[in-house]
Amino acid sequence: MSEEQIKNLEEQFEARIARDEKIEPKDWMPEKYRQTHIRQISQHAHSEIVGMLPEGNWITRAPSLRRKVALLAKVQDEAGHGLYLYSACETLGISRDELYEQLHSGKAKYSSIFNYPTVTWADMGAIGWLVDGAAIINQVPLCNTSFGPYARAMVRVCKEESFHQRQGYEIMLKLCQGAPEQKEMAQDALNRWWWPSLMMFGPTDAESTHTEQSMKWKLKRKTNDELRQQFIDQTVPQAEILGLTIPDPDLKWNEERGSYDFGEINWDEFWQVVKGHGPMNKERMKARVGAWERGEWVRDAAMAHAEKQQERKEKQAV
Amino acid sequence: MKHNLYRYILGIADNSLILGQRLGELCGHGPNLETDIACTNMSLDLLGQVRSYYQYAAKIKGEGASEDSIAFLRKEREYYNVLLVEQPNTDFGYTMARQFLFDVYHLLFLTELQKSSDLTLSAIATKSIKEVSYHQRFSSDWIKRLGDGTEESNTRIQTAINDLWTYTDELFYLTDADKAMVEEGIGVDVATLKDAYYKTVSEVLEEARIEIPESKYFQKGGKQGIHTEHMGYLLADMQYMQRAYPNMEW
Ligand SMILES: [Fe+2]
Ligand SMILES: [Fe+2]
Ligand SMILES: [Fe+2]
């Protein structure tokens, strides 16, 4: 194809997106679009499955049968989200094995929030309330993103995430209505998860790269700072209902802006965790790689069996 | 209180609780996402059944008992599950072998329990049977895959079957509570399930190219509350919150 032809195709492509048409896997797309989507969708898929680990950590210790069942179902939903997102990513011409390889080698990133430890039962509440809550704010706009398979996966994912958020909030509510020790546990969890949750929206707009391109492709509709503000404004009243204190002395309602002002995020901590040196980065990778390696003989067996079955069928047919 | 009925329900439900707990340990650590999701599903099914059984048991027991007090607040000697279900997730082969050896029994058992003169038990059995037939299909398929797959998988699944075989005979042993319930037309005479059990198990193992263990030495004790050393750790984990924070609502 000549440069001119490619330019033409690109213009038509951008025009389709501007008209709100969906791009489907078989459609022509610029290489950069493909690569950006592989990166973002796989990162999202990896986050779902690494995200199973901190909550999976409490399944065996859940305090009641009802909570155990709900937590199992939640973590299973996250596995399902990983599954649809990997499938959406595969439509762009990359295999699941390659994507895992990128995760296990440390080449691909996943959401840093999952590099924090879950140390009490209240963390199951705080994660649902804050982490799923922040994820929803990040993801709702993606239900209208330009790439069809991603947009459709997000519609389903977002529905389940809002259920998770309600479930998490309900865990917190129960703790806050309970014994003083339980309320303390809830406050402690909020103290530990609040700032990392704010970091989920990424660096400040001043520091953030490739925002413009992402806006055009509808991978982003609002900036990191706008989304973060939306999260804070939505969450502060919820904390008030619980009777919990947000661990930020600078948090204050700003009448003029109609929003909360808040304190400085510790960006050194943010970058430390992103670069792989958070409290649980090594543990999380060890768990993922370990599960994959321990499962190798199982996957090999399944493949060998399927091949043998196929051969047997062919022989019978002769 | 109807003591025998209470004990009888625990004898059924504890199997599902302990197996559900074991499967729950694996969530997020499976060989791939599909098997991970399937194992979690089985855990969810079993724990759902447990809740129905314990809610019924709590009614019989009275004295403020609840599904959670029954699940979390007994001493090790008061759990009546068979030894098979408490065995650890040594590898995926052991997990599937344990599942398969239990599922075949479980399905036969529930099929009979449907005929119980106790309407609550027969209703739970009817509801659970669909789930458990799916479990048996899933675990049998994996037994066949692993047995037929590679040399390594064949060795591993054979080892798991050999090791767990010793716990199969206990499934067909009747406690005093079981005998009393059989007499009342409530309980299942599990001794009568034995031939059908070994027949089905042998068929699947043969198809999977797995040798049927010849050992005649069996272990039992779980039904009397005498467990293997694994059980204490499983309970310590499972009961942790209820023990550390007594009398609270979650
Ligand atoms: Fe997500
Ligand atoms: Fe998710
Ligand atoms: Fe979620």
Encode pLDDT of A144-184 as tens digits.
Answer: 999 999 999 999 999 999 999 999 999 999 999 999 999 99
Q: Looking only at Cα atoms, what is the longest distance across chain B?
A: 56
From the CA atom positions of chain A, what is the Rg in Å? 22
pLDDT in tens, B91-105: 999 999 999 999 999
Residues of A in contact with B153 (CB under 8 A): 297-298, 300-301, 304
Q: Å from B18 to nearest chain A CA?
A: 11
Preferred mutation among A48, A64, A83 to probe B, highest tally of B CBs within 10 A: A64
Is there a contact between B245 and A305 if contact means CB atoms under 8 Å apart? Answer: no
Q: Which pLDDT does position A90 carry in this prediction?
A: 98
From the list B48, B92, B242, the residue facing A298 with the nearest CB is: B92
Return the residue in A87, A96, A305 with the most chain B beta carbons within 10 A, the one to mutate for interface testing.
A305
Which chain A residue has its CA at the smallest distance from B91's CA? A294
Domains within chain B, CATH numbers bracketed: 2-244 (1.20.1260.10)
**How sure is the predictor about A280, in pLDDT bands with cuts at 50, 70 and 90?**
very high
In this prediction, residue A211 carries a pLDDT of 73
Chain A contact set for B152 (CB, 8 A): 297, 300-301
Backbone angles phi, psi at A264, to 5 degrees: -75, 130
Extract the residue ranges of chain B whose pLDDT is less than 50.
none
Say whether pLDDT at A16 is over 90.
Answer: yes
**Cα A298 to chain center, whole Å?**
28
What pLDDT score was predicted for residue A210? 63
pLDDT in tens, B205-241: 999 999 999 988 999 999 999 999 999 999 999 999 9
Task: Find the mean pLDDT for residues A138-144.
Answer: 95
Which residue has 């792989």 as its token pair? A276
pLDDT score for B1: 67
Q: Cα–Cα distance between A253 and B127 in angstroms, integer?
A: 54
Provide the whole-model pTM.
0.96
Q: Distance between CA A160 and CA A205 in Å, rounded?
A: 29
Distance from CA of A291 to the nearest CA of B (A): 5
Residue among A69, A76, A299 minimizing CB distance to B37: A76
Please list, in sequence order, all residues whose beta carbon lies within 8 angstroms of the beta carbon of residue B194, skipping any fewer than 6 positions away: B172
- Asked if pLDDT for residue A318 goes beyond 80, the answer is no
Helix, strand, or coil (residue B69): helix
